[in-house]
Amino acid sequence: MSECATTSSPASSSCHMRLKQLTAGAAALLLLFLLPAAAFSDAQQLQTSHNVFGPFDQSYYSKFAVLQPATISNDALQITPDSAGNFTLNNRSGRIFYNHSFTLWEDSSSNSSDSAANGSHVASFNSSFLINIFRPNSSAIPGEGLAFLIAPDMTLPVASHGQYLGLTNATTDGDPNNHLLAVELDTFKQSFDPDDNHMGININSIRSNKTVSLSDLGIQISPSDTRFYMVWIEYGGDSHRLDVYMAEQQKDQQTNGFVIEPRPTSPILTKNNINLKDIVKQQSYFGFAASTGTAIELNCVLKWNLTVELLPGGKGADGKTGLKIGLGVGVGVPAAALMLLGLGGLGYYLYKRRKAAASDENILGALKSLPGTPREFSFKELKKATNNFDERHKLGQGGYGVVYRGVLPKENLEVAVKKFSRDNLQGKDDFLAELTIINRLRHKHLVRLLGWCHKNGMLLIVYEFMPNGSLDNHLFGETETATLGWSQRYKIVTGVASALHYLHNEYDQRVVHRDLKASNIMLDSNFNSRLGDFGLARALDNEKTSYAELEGVPGTMGYIAPECFHTGKATCESDIYGFGAVILEVVCGQRPWTKMGGFQFVVDWVWSLHREGRVLDAVDQRLGNDYVAGEGERLLLLGLACMHPIAGERPKTQTIIQIISGSVPVPRVPPFKPAFVWPSSNMHEGVSSTANTVNTTSSWPLEISVSDTSEWTPPYDSQDSNGGTRRHSDSFSLL
């Protein structure tokens, strides 16, 4: 023991480590004897109840509480009556619940021993469901809507038809004692609604806390024809964040089944600071509610998946509770059994410590071997810089984590700290991929890397802070910012083109960014553009021209080149397509997926204006006449050329720079947008001809290949220590 205390050799360090491990192990063993429940809490947090429902037949009456006039018929949950039968469809409301309750939060005031070990915790859940909201009369106005809900009991409020969507009524609406959380799909405009085709998040009321119109996204909840939509709802118990996604699904006419499209990469609706403990009862039920009024519709749910985290000691779908061992366990249990439990818990604890240590050594080794070895920040330093990662310092959030603003006091330097939040293995892969690439890049139009930090499994990257935020905020932000002038916009496009040319041609390896969009373009104090967020970027090996992942094609709707949905590969040409979308964003002041002039995407609208000889009508109206017409036409035509459906027809970055500078003319843009042609073996060398198997019918960015109709929802996304959601495949951007 004295040798360990006095020797400074490497063996000393090892001896200290062993001593610490033995001490920790002994403490853990003592804790196991005194409070065995604590040893099992970590394992139990990973337990989930995963339920797959549908197609629905009469056997589901034993699993569900079907509150009339709701029924189960035609292989679907009919939340309001279907069209069969001699009854009216007007002014009806119904509910259908899964008839098992779930424990959705821990009561920290009860069972103090557990609370001490585990603290208060809120359950995470995922749900996905396939719906068809059908108009019996295609020419009539539909109404009123359908909602996914969490409720304290399996009852239906009286007089909850019409605007109340089966959730509340005139007496109870807005009452916190309702203990309701709902996601509504509303098809009838009331005085408090934004329109007659929107999604909303509702708490104890039919007046939504947050809404989004679906018309601009090309989604019609209850169209005049038959359409099917998948809705994904994801809630993080630690992050208190609710994300909702939605995408149209195609029916296989041959099999009469569905080939379920993957979940889109970006949520349609997000609401932060939703703490279930403040809203719903501890024991609550999941289900659906719907209503009709003077206008009618059929509210059908065809499939439903529900995954709920089982809290330690909480009740799951089978009604069983988690393992609980109190202080008095030794009274009635033989000492040998108690010892066995203790040794098992100790073994699990040491295994987790050993596994984490090995992982830490691997990632530290990889970081230390990076060329130039970027600066390693201490966690304490970054924690202080961001005021303990204060929510008020948050700059952005996405699937990979959260970005915070911070100030390094010693240097008096503002920084952006990216805190990764995906699961251990995937999060470290993302972290190393981004750090490895950005560490070697040096260009005045790229966001500069300052350093990194890895502490107790927490991964952080430190970037130069951009005082003017993102281009997206200036074009579309809700804050009162002055409209970007024309000269600023032109300078921004020029800078991004220069950065892209560097990535594709001037660095020693070709780099594909894979996520070019306005929110990933940062602006410094002089409004110079800096391309950022290299979380999806990949360096291509020599002689290779494309990059593919098993997960499929990441990115954001409107920016992904059409060939990517067929080949599953990212190329320099697909980056050019994304750059074209950015050009149109900057010039038009509209997001790529905005419906304009009856067209689904901005690019199609601009192409139609070009055909009619009035392409300058696409220039952002906020600019008035304060722009250079020749430059406006040049950028609009360049944007169309970059978004040519055929990859080989898109200009190279060198040509793009020359076009922007005015030294060469824009290549001829045909008056009609050409049709997409499947990539062939004799295509341009910049595009890979090897196709991966992906579903080609999706108009959304794909992350995974889905062809098996039995696997139609993502697996349970558990919560990590940072409150983020861990997914097997994700491609959200942060900045």
The DSSP symbol for 733 reads -
CA 252, 256, 261, 262 dihedral sign is negative
Single out the residue of 574, 533, 576, 523 nearest to residue 399, CA to CA: 533
Element (H, E) at 323: none
What does the alpha-carbon distance between residue 107 and residue 278 come to, in Å, rounded to a whole number? 12
Which residues are known binding-site members for ATP? 419
Helix (H, G, I), strand (E, B) or coil at 15: helix
Q: What is the largest CA-CA distance in the chain?
A: 92
- Give the pLDDT of residue 201: 97
Question: 96 Cβ partners below 8 Å, 6+ apart?
Answer: 64, 65, 66, 67, 70, 72, 77, 79, 287, 288, 301
Give the fold, CATH level 3, of 55-108+116-309.
Answer: Jelly Rolls (2.60.120)
- 515 flagged as catalytic: yes
What does the alpha-carbon distance between residue 198 and residue 146 come to, in Å, rounded to a whole number? 11
CB neighbour class for 626 (10 Å; exposed up to 12, middle 13-18, buried from 19): exposed
Do residues 495 and 522 make contact, with C-beta atoms less than 8 angstroms apart? no
Please confirm whether the linkage preceding 144 is cis (ω < 30° from 0).
yes
Single out the residue of 519, 530, 547 nearest to residue 433, CA to CA: 547
What does the alpha-carbon distance between residue 232 and residue 224 come to, in Å, rounded to a whole number? 23
CATH code for the structural domain at 471-661: 1.10.510.10
pLDDT tens for each residue of 542-566: 444 444 443 445 567 788 888 887 7
Question: What is the mean pLDDT for each group of 10 consecutive residues in the chain (735 residues)?
Answer: 37 41 45 39 60 88 90 91 72 94 80 46 93 85 95 94 95 95 96 94 96 93 91 94 92 66 89 95 96 94 93 59 38 53 58 47 54 76 91 78 88 88 53 68 87 79 89 78 88 95 84 86 92 66 45 67 80 92 95 88 95 95 94 96 93 95 92 76 36 30 30 34 33 29
Q: Tokens standing for 565?
A: 């949905």
- Give the pLDDT of residue 546: 43
Do residues 715 and 706 make contact, with C-beta atoms less than 8 angstroms apart? no
Give the fold, CATH level 3, of 374-464.
Answer: Phosphorylase Kinase; domain 1 (3.30.200)
Element (H, E) at 285: strand 283-291
Single out the residue of 366, 429, 360, 129 nearest to residue 263, CA to CA: 129
- Give the pLDDT of residue 434: 63
Question: How far separated are the first and last CA of the chain, in Å rounded?
Answer: 52
- Which residues are 547's β-sheet partners? 570
Q: Tokens standing for 19?
A: 């001593």
Which residues are known binding-site members? 419
- Give the pLDDT of residue 102: 94
- Give the pLDDT of residue 510: 81
Single out the residue of 303, 304, 299 nearest to residue 82, CA to CA: 299
Do residues 570 and 546 make contact, with C-beta atoms less than 8 angstroms apart? yes
What does the alpha-carbon distance between residue 724 and residue 236 come to, in Å, rounded to a whole number? 7
State the helix-helix crossing angle for 335-368 and 36-44, rounded to 10 degrees.
Answer: 50
CB neighbour class for 693 (10 Å; exposed up to 12, middle 13-18, buried from 19): exposed
User: What is the full DSSP assignment across 499-514?
Assistant: HHHIIIIISSSEEE--
Single out the residue of 197, 206, 263 nearest to residue 234, CA to CA: 263
Q: Where are the domains of the chain?
A: 55-108+116-309, 374-464, 471-661
CA 236, 239, 240, 242 dihedral sign is negative
What does the alpha-carbon distance between residue 448 and residue 466 come to, in Å, rounded to a whole number? 10
- Give the pLDDT of residue 142: 92
In the set 114, 515, 620, 717, the catalytic residue is 515
What does the alpha-carbon distance between residue 459 and residue 455 come to, in Å, rounded to a whole number? 7
Do residues 468 and 527 make contact, with C-beta atoms less than 8 angstroms apart? yes
pLDDT tens for each residue of 523-532: 998 999 998 8
Which residue is associated with the tokens 């039919």? 206
Please confirm whether the linkage preceding 312 is cis (ω < 30° from 0).
no
- Say if pTM beats, i.e. exceeds, 0.85: no
Helix (H, G, I), strand (E, B) or coil at 51: strand
For 388-489, strand residue ranges (E) read 394-398, 401-408, 413-420, 449-455, 458-464
What does the alpha-carbon distance between residue 527 and residue 369 come to, in Å, rounded to a whole number? 35
